[in-house]
A = this chain, B = another copy of it.
Amino acid sequence: MDVELSPRSKQILEAIIEDYIATAEPVGSSAVARRHALTLSPATVRNVMSNLEEMGLLTSPHTSAGRIPTEKAYRFYVDSLIALRQITRDEKKQIIRRCRQAGGGVSEILKETSKTLSSLSNYMGLVVAPSFVADVFRHIEFLSLGPHRVLAILVSSNGTVQNRLVETEEDITQDDLVKMGNYLNELMQGLTISLARQRILEEMKDEKVQFDRLMSQALQISKQAVDFEQDEIFVEGQSRIFDQPEFSTGRRMQDIFRAFEQKGILLQLLSRCMTAEGVQIYIGSETPVSQSAGVSLITSRFITSSNTVGLIGVIGPTRMGYSSVIPIVDYTAKLVSRLLNEV
């Protein structure tokens, strides 16, 4: 950002951005002069605006409309101008209450978090759960559910539970299933899930094991149990985008919804965002989700007790209330980290 601006230009730019965020209408010179009680005439403001336009910070939809901020302007605003609103005691309370009351497992907490983000920000809430495969193995257990059906339950030290129904060729008694469980628990103790998976594959090559019918079956089943892609994603408050006038035309909304139906995009997002600490802000075309749709994304990562990383965030129009959403996202991410690490 090689933007060099006089204090007055900054002030005017800020006024325009905030006006536009509030109204979604192009803002004209007289509106700025009036609303901000600047001791300047519209004409002066116009000159400044003209400069800002040349610098690529403003555009006008047509000759005789006011001007609207460009992506570059939002970027500058967020980097240099913004006065973050403090998160209120009330909001804090609400976040804590809702995330806690979710009770249940990790998934339930994260889903409620996503809803909370949505309702506090009035945009869409997004949570991408941490990848299970990086978690540390805690426990595996097999239950017989019928002649050829075995339920494998896999627990990580985070408390994330995976279960999978496996069809077996032959009948296995519950006693044998317990033995298999003991064997595997021994085998995978202390490994991450992905390492555990490797260990299983190695073990399957072992000659001793190959001759032990029970053990080789155990490996077979558990291999299926660890082989999955578990990508939990919670997008909540989708209907809120209808509140935004810029999305009232179907076309852009469709883009957004399409994007969410492809999980891949969101996972890619996760991997991109999880390296950096703190609140990340993606504006317009910077946004990995749906570049064309004119949305911005504010995210922050959270960390579980096993040091795996997840992502929370808010998605709204580029014209979003950054100053209030950023603190909310920030606070929520920290809270979720704390909740998930709580003793």
Contacts and interface: CB of A to CB of B under 8 A. Distances in A.
Nearest to A245: B250
A242 B261 contact: no
* Band of interface residues on A: 35 or more
A264 interface: no
Interface string A242-283: 100001101001100110010000000000000000000000
A157 interface: yes
B161 A228 contact: no
A106 interface: yes
How would you classify the secondary structure of chain A's contact residues: helix, strand, loop or mixed? mixed
A31 interface: no
A165 B228 contact: no
A7 to B, nearest CB: 41
Contacts of A261: 236-239
Contacts of A236: 261
A228 B105 CA distance: 11
A258 B261 CA distance: 18
A56 interface: no
A257 B236 CA distance: 11
A159 interface: yes
A224 B238 CA distance: 31
A141 B138 CA distance: 14
Nearest to A147: B343
A94 B248 CA distance: 36
A228 B106 CA distance: 14
Contact of A138 (B145, B147, B155): B145
B151 A153 contact: no
Contact of A254 (B104, B158, B239, B305): B239
Contacts of A153: 141, 153, 155, 161
A164 interface: yes
A46 interface: no
Interface string A150-169: 01010101110101110000
Contacts of A157: 145
A55 to B, nearest CB: 35
Nearest to A164: B104
A148 to B, nearest CB: 6
A139 interface: yes
Interface string A93-106: 00000000001111
Nearest to A151: B159
A223 to B, nearest CB: 12
Nearest to A229: B104
A146 B250 contact: no
A316 to B, nearest CB: 16
Given A146-B305, A247-B250, A250-B250, 17 more contacts: A103-B224, A104-B228, A105-B164, A138-B143, A143-B155, A148-B343, A149-B159, A151-B161, A153-B161, A159-B165, A236-B261, A238-B261, A239-B257, A239-B261, A242-B250, A250-B253, A253-B253
The 4 closest A-B pairs by CB, nearest first: A239-B257, A242-B254, A161-B163, A159-B165
16 contacts: A103-B224, A105-B151, A105-B163, A138-B145, A139-B143, A147-B343, A153-B153, A153-B155, A236-B261, A238-B238, A238-B257, A239-B257, A239-B258, A239-B261, A242-B250, A242-B257
